[in-house]
Structures are given as structure tokens and as C-alpha cells.
């Protein structure tokens, strides 16, 4: 019990990094996801397959491998070390965000793609016959419908990403899991630390869950 | 390419056995998961409020907490718990719990939480009439579960079991933090001694892709097999 109270401030402090990693990766991941979802609808075979294999590779390999390739692997390439990218790739923080972004981007692109695909053709025909132009159809018709459609699945993806950020601790970052591991390995009291850190994670999952519920209500146009 | 030679000069044989280890851990873990899921699904579907709570607690906690944290809990806590029991029986030394078991159990607990949700969903989507018909036929509960409900449930659950398998397979990479020599750990060792992390981690990615690709093919075949006549 004492250890739980003692370690709580440190764990809470580390939670900030976890939140930062989650939010930044999700933010960038949405753009990556949309980009590849749009490529998937392209009629150009090269663009289509590029997007297809991107999502295939990132969803078919563990996130840990992706982080390790980016953090340990890319630094070995001469031209990367000499380019401006090295400023980003030498820091574990930006490497972790890059890996998480690419990973969540792959999953989100699948979610967005299927959301766009399920839009009823009749709705688009109705919008066209009402005289809306392409841009209006995209922003006023397609996008809101796709957002509503993808919200439940995207909520799951947000929770997966939150859990995924725990891998940042493998590249020396002290996020919630990293600090928890450090406390466990110095005190050898895993259960207490697990309860505190686990509760913080569960609280964050709970918050995400409720935000998605609220958004679902907002986008419910029926 | 000489990195991948078999024998003393390359890492080919090491990586091959590491891949087998990954498969072994994943299969053990998913069966531990099925076993736990069988228990917790009955809890979740039972009429008892307490059992419901236990079932929900299990799936909420282990689907909401990062896998790595669970692994650390069992890795550091496992040997502590075993030593505690050993102390009662008068043994005072240090006992190290097998890394394979620690890994398989921790991944199995997580995989079980996902499987529980899959099983519960599958049972709930079986037509109510099937339950009623079995009762009308006067079948005992045990028989109608084993002969009527579970076979149908497995067919419905198969696509989602395939998803759980993919998650479990990828989660095994996290066991490398405990030192168990599976694909990730072996690549880490090889990358360290050859100073070529890019090659070995990319090769690890290829191995995982191969595993997920092959298992997807296998599950597609199973699904086709089990949905004959529907």
C-alpha cells in the first residue's frame, strides 16, 4: 500500500508522456490513414498496390519490429545519417512517434476505406442530382457519413494505440509502462505497481470509450 | 546474404529455431486463452451477478492494460510467487521461472480476454430457437451444449478466432523482453553481434509477415470447410 502511494506521483508524471505519444500519433495517424484510404480508391494500379501493401506490411508485423527497424535500423544507413532526417531519427521520442503513426495509419486506412465503401450509391446520386459539386459532396455528404461509420472501429484503434505506446519503453523512453517497469525492477513488488499503472491505463481507456460514445451521438443523424 | 547461412558462420539456423519457438509460444498461448475463455464465457453468460462481474472484470482489465505491463507483472511476479510458495515448503534459494511458461501464460491471459468476447458474441448470435428446440427434445444441458451449441458457435467464431490468432502471434514478439529466444530476441542478439540491425529486424518483419500470411491462408481454408452446407 505504501509503495502504491509512493509510486503514484511518478507514474502519474509518466502518464503525461503516454498521453502525449498517444495523441500525437493518433493526430498524425489520421492524416496518414486518410491519405492511404484515398489511394486505395484510386484507379491507378501502382497507387492502389502501394497503399495495399503498406497496410498489409504494417498490420502483418508486430509494432515492436517496426519501432526497432526505425530506431535501431535506420541509423545504420549512411545517407539517412547525413540528411536532415537524422535530427528526427536519432531521438527515441520522434522515432517512437513515427513508428506509432505509421502503424495506426495502416489500421486507420482500413477503417476509413471500408467506411467510404459502405456509403450507399443512392445517396451520392441524390447529392449529384441536387446539383452539389464534387467538393461539397465530399465534405458535406461523404465525410460526415464516413466519420459516423468509422467511429466505433476507430475508437478501438485509439485504445489499441494507447496500449501500443507502452512499447516506447523498449526504446529507452520513460512512459507509464517504462516507469512502472523501472519501479518493479528496483522494488520487486510487481503487483502493487501493476494495480496503480493498470488503473491509470483503464481510466484512459474509459475516457476514450466515452468520448467515442459522445461523438457517435453527435454524428447520429437519424 | 552470408548472415543467413546455416551453421557457425551464419544466423540461418538460429533464426529458424527462433521462428519455431515463436510458433510454439503462440500456439500454447492461444490454447491457454481458449481454456480461460471457456471459463469466463460461462461466467459472462451466467445469471449470477457476481460471476458476471468477474467475467467483465477479466475482459476489461486484460483488454485495457498494455500487454507489456502484463508480461512484466508475470515476469517479475511469477518467480516471486513461486519462491514464496517454495519458502513455505522450506526451500530458500532463488528460483527462476521458465521464460517460455511466463511468456505463454501472460500472452495466453491476454488472448483469453479477446477469445472470451469472441465466444460470447458467437453464442449470443446463435438463434434462440436452437436452445428452445434442444430443451423441447429433452436433451440434458451438457449434451445440448456439446452437441448443438458449441459446434455452431465454433463455426460462427472462426473468422474472429483468426483475428485473435493474429493478435496473439504478434504479441509473442513482446516476450523477447523476458529473454526467451524467439524471433525478436534472436534478431536482437544477431543485430548486436553483427552490427547490422536494419537487416535482421527487416528479416524478422519478413518472418512475421510469412507467419501471418500462412495462418490467414489456413484459416480461410478452415472457414470454407466449416461453412459447407450453409
* Cβ-proximal residues to B6 (8 Å cutoff; 6+ apart), any chain: B12, B13, B16
- Distance from CA of residue A81 to its chain's centroid? 27
Distance from CA of A161 to the nearest CA of B (A): 10
Give phi and psi for B134, each to the nearest 5: -65, -35
Q: What region, left, alpha or beta, does residue A131 occupy, with left being phi > 0 and alpha being psi -120 to 50 degrees?
A: left
Of B30 and B140, more confident: B30
Distance from CA of A37 to the nearest CA of B (A): 21
Task: Please tell me the distance from the alpha carbon of residue B39 to that of residue B55, in angstroms, as a whole number.
Answer: 9
Task: Classify residue B100 as exposed, middle or buried by CB count within 10 Å of its CB (0-12, 13-18, 19+).
Answer: middle
Specify the residue for cell string 467511429.
A151
pTM for the model: 0.89
Task: Classify residue A56 as exposed, middle or buried by CB count within 10 Å of its CB (0-12, 13-18, 19+).
Answer: middle
- pLDDT classification of B230: cutoffs 50, 70, 90: low
Contact criterion met (CB below 8 Å) for B13 and B181: no
Query: CB distance B201–A201 less than 8 Å?
Result: no
Q: What is the mean pLDDT of the segment spanning B209-218?
A: 94
pLDDT surpasses 90 at B143: no
- Output the pLDDT for position A73: 87
pLDDT surpasses 70 at A79: yes
B198 to chain A: which residues are within 8 Å by CB? 69, 72-74, 76-77
Contact criterion met (CB below 8 Å) for A57 and A136: no
- Output the pLDDT for position B2: 66
Residue A61's alpha-carbon distances to A52, A86, B160, B167, B210, in angstroms, are 15, 25, 18, 10, 9
pLDDT surpasses 90 at A55: yes
Query: CB distance B68–A202 less than 8 Å?
Result: no
Query: CB distance B67–A163 less than 8 Å?
Result: yes
Distance from CA of A19 to the nearest CA of B (A): 14
Most confident segment among A70-84, A131-145, B92-106, B200-214: B200-214
Query: CB distance A180–B69 less than 8 Å?
Result: yes
**Mutation to test the B interface, candidates A56, A61, A180, most B Cβ within 10 Å:** A61
Q: What is the mean pLDDT of the segment spanning A208-219?
A: 89
Distance from CA of B183 to the nearest CA of A (A): 10
Q: What is the mean pLDDT of the segment spanning B37-49?
A: 93
Query: CB distance A60–B72 less than 8 Å?
Result: no
Lowest mean pLDDT among B49-53, B75-79, B163-167: B75-79
Q: Which residues of B make CB contacts under 8 Å with A? A: 60-61, 64-69, 72-73, 76-77, 80, 170-171, 173-174, 176-177, 184, 187-188, 191, 195-199, 201-202, 204-205, 208-209, 212-213
Distance from CA of A55 to the nearest CA of B (A): 12
- Distance from CA of residue A85 to its chain's centroid? 22
Query: CB distance B68–A69 less than 8 Å?
Result: no
- Output the pLDDT for position B116: 95
Distance from CA of B57 to the nearest CA of A (A): 11
- Output the pLDDT for position A21: 94
Contact criterion met (CB below 8 Å) for A62 and B173: yes
A185 to chain B: which residues are within 8 Å by CB? 76
Question: What is residue B146's DSSP assignment?
Answer: I
- pLDDT classification of B58: cutoffs 50, 70, 90: very high
CA-closest candidate to residue A179, choices A21, A18, A1, A68:
A18
Average pLDDT of every residue of chain B: 88
Task: Classify residue A16 as exposed, middle or buried by CB count within 10 Å of its CB (0-12, 13-18, 19+).
Answer: exposed
Q: What region, left, alpha or beta, does residue B147 occupy, with left being phi > 0 and alpha being psi -120 to 50 degrees?
A: alpha
CA nearest A158 in B: which residue?
B64
Specify the residue for cell string 451466467.
B46
- Output the pLDDT for position A46: 93
C-alpha cell at B23: 510458433
| A117-133: b (≥16 Cβ within 10 Å) or e | eeeeeeeeeebeeeebe
A201 to chain B: which residues are within 8 Å by CB? 64-66, 69
Lowest mean pLDDT among A151-160, B54-63, B94-103, B197-206: B94-103
Lowest mean pLDDT among A174-178, A186-190, A203-207, B65-69: A186-190
**Mutation to test the B interface, candidates A65, A66, A155, most B Cβ within 10 Å:** A65
A205 to chain B: which residues are within 8 Å by CB? 64
3-class secondary-structure state, position A1:
coil
pLDDT surpasses 90 at A140: no
B177 to chain A: which residues are within 8 Å by CB? 170
Of B148 and A24, more confident: A24
For A166, the closest of B68, B196, B199 (CB atoms) is B68
pLDDT surpasses 90 at B134: no
Size of interface A-B (CB pairs under 8 A): 113
Distance from CA of A21 to the nearest CA of B (A): 14
CA-closest candidate to residue B169, choices B27, B68, B36, B17:
B27
- Output the pLDDT for position B85: 79
**Mutation to test the A interface, candidates B72, B81, B94, B163, most A Cβ within 10 Å:** B72
pLDDT surpasses 70 at B1: no
* Cβ-proximal residues to B109 (8 Å cutoff; 6+ apart), any chain: B32, B33, B36, B62, B70, B74
pLDDT surpasses 90 at A57: yes
pLDDT digits (tens, 9 = 90+) for A2-53: 778 888 888 999 999 999 999 999 999 999 999 999 898 888 999 999 999 9
Q: What is the mean pLDDT of the segment spanning B160-181?
A: 92
Amino acid at each position: 500500500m505504501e509503495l502504491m502511494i509512493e509510486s503514484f506521483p511518478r507514474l502519474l508524471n509518466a502518464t503525461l508522456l503516454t498521453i502525449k505519444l498517444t495523441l500525437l500519433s493518433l493526430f498524425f495517424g489520421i492524416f496518414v490513414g486518410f491519405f492511404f484510404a484515398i489511394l486505395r480508391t484510386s484507379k491507378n494500379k501502382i497507387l492502389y498496390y502501394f497503399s495495399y501493401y503498406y497496410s498489409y506490411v504494417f498490420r502483418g508485423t508486430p509494432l515492436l519490429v517496426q519501432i526497432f527497424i526505425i530506431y535501431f535500423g535506420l541509423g545504420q544507413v549512411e545517407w539517412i545519417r547525413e540528411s536532415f532526417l537524422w535530427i528526427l531519427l536519432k531521438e527515441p521520442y520522434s522515432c517512437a512517434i513515427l513508428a506509432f503513426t505509421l502503424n495506426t495509419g495502416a489500421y486507420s486506412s482500413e477503417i476509413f476505406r471500408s467506411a467510404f465503401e459502405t456509403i450507399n450509391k443512392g445517396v451520392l446520386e441524390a447529392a449529384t442530382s441536387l446539383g452539389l459539386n464534387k467538393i461539397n459532396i465530399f465534405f458535406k455528404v461523404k465525410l460526415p457519413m464516413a466519420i459516423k461509420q468509422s467511429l466505433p472501429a476507430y475508437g478501438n484503434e485509439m485504445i489499441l494505440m494507447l496500449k501500443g505506446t507502452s512499447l516506447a519503453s523498449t526504446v529507452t523512453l520513460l512512459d507509464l509502462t517504462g516507469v512502472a517497469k523501472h519501479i518493479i525492477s528496483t522494488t520487486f513488488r510487481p503487483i502493487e505497481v501493476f494495480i496503480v499503472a493498470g488503473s491509470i491505463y483503464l481510466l484512459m481507456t474509459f475516457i476514450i470509450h466515452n468520448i467515442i460514445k459522445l461523438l457517435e451521438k453527435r454524428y447520429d443523424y437519424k | 546474404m552470408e548472415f543467413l547461412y546455416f551453421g557457425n558462420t551464419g544466423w540461418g539456423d538460429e533464426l529458424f529455431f527462433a521462428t519455431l519457438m515463436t510458433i510454439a509460444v503462440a500456439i500454447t498461448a492461444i490454447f491457454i486463452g481458449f481454456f480461460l475463455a471457456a471459463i469466463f464465457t460461462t461466467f459472462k453468460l451466467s445469471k449470477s451477478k457476481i460471476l458476471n462481474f468477474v467475467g467483465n472484470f477479466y475482459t476489461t482489465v486484460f483488454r485495457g492494460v498494455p500487454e507489456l505491463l502484463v508480461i512484466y507483472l508475470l515476469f517479475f511476479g511469477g518467480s516471486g510467487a513461486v519462491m514464496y510458495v517454495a519458502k513455505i515448503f522450506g526451500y530458500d534459494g532463488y528460483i527462476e521461472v521458465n521464460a517460455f511458461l511466463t511468456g505463454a501464460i501472460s500472452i495466453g491471459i491476454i488472448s483469453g480476454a479477446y477469445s472470451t468476447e469472441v465466444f460470447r458474441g458467437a453464442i449470443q448470435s446463435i438463434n434462440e430457437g436452437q436452445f428452445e428446440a434442444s430443451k423441447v427434445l429433452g436433451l440434458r444441458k451438457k449434451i445440448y451444449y456439446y452437441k448443438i451449441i458449441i459446434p455452431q458457435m465454433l463455426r460462427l467464431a472462426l473468422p474472429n478466432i483468426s483475428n485473435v490468432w493474429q493478435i496473439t502471434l504478434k504479441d509473442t514478439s513482446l516476450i523477447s523482453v523476458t529473454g526467451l529466444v524467439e524471433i525478436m530476441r534472436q534478431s536482437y542478439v544477431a543485430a548486436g553481434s553483427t552490427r547490422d540491425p536494419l537487416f535482421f529486424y527487416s528479416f524478422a518483419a519478413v518472418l512475421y509477415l510469412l507467419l501471418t500470411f500462412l495462418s490467414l491462408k489456413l484459416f480461410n481454408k478452415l472457414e470454407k470447410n466449416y461453412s459447407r452446407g450453409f
